[in-house]
């Protein structure tokens, strides 16, 4: 078995944890934006783990996906890999897990089909943003799909902080599931969530606040992902207004569009904690151990 991917800390740790050799991947990008990922080693007749992450703040999920698709096809068709397990810690387009308006694509399902067609025999991802289908495996016809929890790693990291009487808060209706999952790993039953409505045409967000007595308590606002930071900032601001002593912004996927971090800190967050599912220099919690355990279990 071999691990193929960029020679970064994430993949170095993953290769060490699995006890396999890391074959580096050169991620060349031409001036016009075209990508040309190059595998720098022999993978013929090997079971390959392909591990690639998207960059935070780049706004380039499409470039990332082309790199993944080209590398999958290359490993399968030209480099002779026997099998390919794709480690895609953040699964783009998962939010479009239903057709919300006539004429829209079912993007998450289409992406699953593209990854299978390109050569993925198994796909491992972390806390995939799916609410309207039964599970991650429904995106695929043939490939084995595993959705690893990123909240276990996130909770373990936040447990290191000396929080006082902690309360877990989800910033919107859908995040109640994430708040419950985080609370489970953290070891508390004190959690709740606000309600949010988003205009499907404009993207405008409105947060509906239920009054919660947070006086003197430390609050962890948790979500699966943060893109613009608007929803997270609203929740942080309201938690402070309700008397929270300290507010921690915690999320699995640091997509982080430009100014997202400033928006969250400007709302009053005392710290930001995220995992390393996406390449971001501020990531503090690592999902490498959870992914390695999943691969060993497979």
Residues 155 and 204 in one domain: yes
Residues 61 and 158 in one domain: no
Contact by Cβ (8 Å): 90, 255? yes
pTM confidence score: 0.92
Is 281 among the domain residues? no
Residues 183 and 245 in one domain: yes
Q: How many domains does the chain have?
A: 2
pLDDT digits (tens, 9 = 90+) for 149-186: 999 999 999 999 999 999 999 998 889 999 999 999 99
Per-chain mean pLDDT for the chain: 93
Looking at residue 212, what is its pLDDT? Answer: 86
Residues 39 and 165 in one domain: no
CA distances from 186 to 24, 81, 291 (A): 36, 40, 19
What span, in angstroms and rounded, lies between the C-alpha atoms of 196 and 36? 41
Residues 173 and 222 in one domain: yes
Give the whole-number percent of the chain exceeding pLDDT 70: 94
Q: What is the CATH number of the domain that holds 59?
A: 3.40.50.2020
Instruction: For residue 202, give the H/E element and its range.
Output: none
Task: Over range 90-105, report the average pLDDT.
Answer: 87
Structural domain boundaries enclosing 135:
2-149+286-297
Is 280 among the domain residues? no
Residues 135 and 10 in one domain: yes
Task: Over range 268-283, report the average pLDDT.
Answer: 97
Tokens at 192, concatenated = 């709740």
Catalytic residues: 196
What span, in angstroms and rounded, lies between the C-alpha atoms of 234 and 226? 12
Q: What are phi and psi of 48, to 5 degrees?
A: -110, 135
**Cα 196 to chain centroid, rounded:** 21
Looking at residue 196, what is its pLDDT? Answer: 59
Is 245 among the domain residues? yes
Residues 71 and 127 in one domain: yes
pLDDT digits (tens, 9 = 90+) for 190-243: 999 987 565 556 556 565 667 789 999 999 999 999 999 999 999 999 999 999
What span, in angstroms and rounded, lies between the C-alpha atoms of 237 and 222? 14
Tokens at 268, concatenated = 């009053």
For residue 108, which of 89, 86, 85, 131 has the smallest C-alpha distance? 131
Contact by Cβ (8 Å): 154, 286? no
Return the minimum-mean-pLDDT range out of 71-75, 194-198, 235-239, 263-267.
194-198
Residues 121 and 9 in one domain: yes
Residues 125 and 185 in one domain: no
Residues 98 and 138 in one domain: yes
For residue 242, which of 265, 206, 210 has the smallest C-alpha distance? 210
What span, in angstroms and rounded, lies between the C-alpha atoms of 107 and 109? 6
Residue appearing with tokens 């919107």: 172
Residues 209 and 188 in one domain: yes
Residues 27 and 143 in one domain: yes
């Amino acid at each position: 078995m071999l691990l193929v991917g960029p020679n970064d800390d994430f993949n170095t740790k993953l290769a060490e944890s699995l006890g396999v050799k890391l074959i580096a991947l050169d991620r060349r990008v031409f001036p016009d934006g075209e990508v040309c990922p190059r595998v720098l080693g022999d993978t013929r007749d090997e079971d390959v783990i392909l591990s690639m992450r998207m960059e935070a703040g780049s706004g380039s999920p499409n470039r990332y996906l082309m790199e993944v698709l080209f590398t999958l096809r290359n490993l399968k068709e030209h480099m002779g890999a026997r099998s390919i397990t794709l480690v895609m810690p953040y699964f783009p387009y998962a939010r479009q897990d239903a057709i919300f308006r006539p004429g829209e694509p079912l993007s998450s399902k289409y992406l699953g089909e593209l990854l299978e067609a390109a050569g993925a025999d198994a796909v491992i991802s972390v806390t995939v943003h799916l609410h309207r289908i039964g599970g991650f495996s429904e995106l695929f016809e043939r490939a084995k799909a595993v959705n690893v929890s990123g909240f276990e790693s996130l909770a373990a990291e936040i447990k290191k902080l000396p929080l006082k009487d902690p309360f877990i808060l989800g910033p919107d209706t859908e995040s109640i599931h994430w708040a419950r999952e985080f609370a489970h790993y953290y070891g508390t039953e004190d959690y709740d969530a606000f309600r949010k409505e988003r205009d499907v045409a404009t993207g405008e967000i409105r947060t509906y606040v239920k009054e919660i007595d947070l006086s003197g308590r430390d609050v962890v606002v948790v979500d699966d992902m943060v893109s613009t930071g608007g929803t997270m900032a609203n929740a942080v601001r309201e938690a402070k207004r309700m008397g929270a002593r300290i507010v921690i912004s915690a999320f699995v996927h640091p997509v982080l569009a430009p100014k997202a971090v400033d928006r969250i800190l400007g709302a009053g967050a005392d710290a930001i904690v995220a995992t390393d599912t996406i390449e971001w220099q501020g990531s503090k919690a690592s999902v490498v151990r959870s992914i390695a355990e999943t691969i060993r279990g497979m």
